[in-house]
Amino acid sequence: MKNISQHIFDQLVHYLKYASSAYTPVCPRPNGSTLITHFSDPVAGIVEGFVARDASRKELVLAFRGSASFADILLDTQVQLVPLVSPGVSVPHGVRVHAGFLIAWNSTIVTSGHSMGGSLATLSAVSAKQRFPQCRVMSYSYGAPRTGNKAFADFFNESLGEDVFRVVHTYDGVPTMISQSLGYHHHGIEYWHNSEPATVENVVKCDAHGEDPNCSLSVPSSGVNDAHLTYFGIVATTPFCL
């Protein structure tokens, strides 16, 4: 584990505000940026979020809300690992991902998300990196469950390196809720907010292999709990839309 800089801490909070705003049906100015479009799945109502442009940062931000309904919870429980098949994406043999998350991801794109939205942020980053190799692709997730197997995690880490920020709040049980015994393995570098209050001193950068026993993996999973619902002192459904 390593300490992080104030800049990294500020970035984690900044992109959380996009993920949190994605829970709001109408968000005219997401995190102070220009709203380009809102998207939703007209059939199942599972996929929802927005695309925004931050002119000052020269960024296109795609945010996707997490589980917000009974239908979402049913999707989250589809824990079988399936091949990663998505338009424009070529992956090594043996890569497997969560079936429910893949169904949702093939409907839209996201770069920031909380809970289920965080898993979709992961899948979107892989696709965006392959479709737009000349661009820098960054992925921010908050309280995301394990998304794929070890082959997927290795492929993801190779593709995006340190441009991935997987944030876990103290004893949030969702990131470890889908067990490694089922073949799952976390991707990327975990940024563990290991104690209160929400300050730069209380966030550590964990080992890059994804399953650091000294970080959130050291806390037995209790599923969806109060730590999952609040990140950096912000309730995860708080809108930042003006």
pLDDT digits (tens, 9 = 90+) for 4-48: 999 999 999 999 999 999 999 899 999 999 998 898 876 556 678
pLDDT score at 136: 84
Q: Does position 235 have pLDDT exceeding 80, yes or no?
A: yes
pLDDT score at 3: 94
The answer to which of 65-79, 90-104, 168-182, 196-210 has the lowest mean pLDDT is: 65-79
Residue 163 in domain: yes
Q: Which residue has the higher pLDDT, 103 or 108?
A: 108
Evaluate if pTM is beyond 0.85. no
Residue 175 in domain: yes
The answer to which of 53-62, 135-144, 183-192 has the lowest mean pLDDT is: 53-62
Give the residue numbers spanning the domain of 149: 2-235
pLDDT score at 218: 95
CA dihedral 220, 226, 232, 238 (to 10 degrees): 140
CA dihedral 86, 87, 89, 92 (to 10 degrees): 50
pLDDT score at 70: 36
Q: Of the spans 45-49, 57-61, 183-187, which averages the highest pLDDT?
A: 183-187
Q: Of the spans 75-79, 98-102, 166-170, which averages the highest pLDDT?
A: 166-170
Residue 240 in domain: no
Residue 44 in domain: yes
Interval 67-84 mean pLDDT: 52
Residues of the chain above pLDDT 90, percent: 52
- C-alpha Rg value of the chain to the nearest Å: 16
pLDDT score at 240: 97
Assess contact for 157 and 105: CB atoms under 8 A: no
- Could you tell me which residues come within 8 angstroms of residue 101 by beta carbon, excluding any fewer than 6 positions away? 75, 116, 119, 120, 123, 147
Residue 167 in domain: yes
Q: Does position 72 have pLDDT exceeding 50, yes or no?
A: no
Residue 242 in domain: no
Give the chain's domain count.
1
Instruction: Identify the CATH number of the domain in which residue 189 sits.
Output: 3.40.50.1820
Residue 73 in domain: yes
Q: Does position 175 have pLDDT exceeding 90, yes or no?
A: yes
Q: Which residue has the higher pLDDT, 72 or 43?
A: 43
Distance CA 107, CA 124 (A): 10
pLDDT score at 44: 57
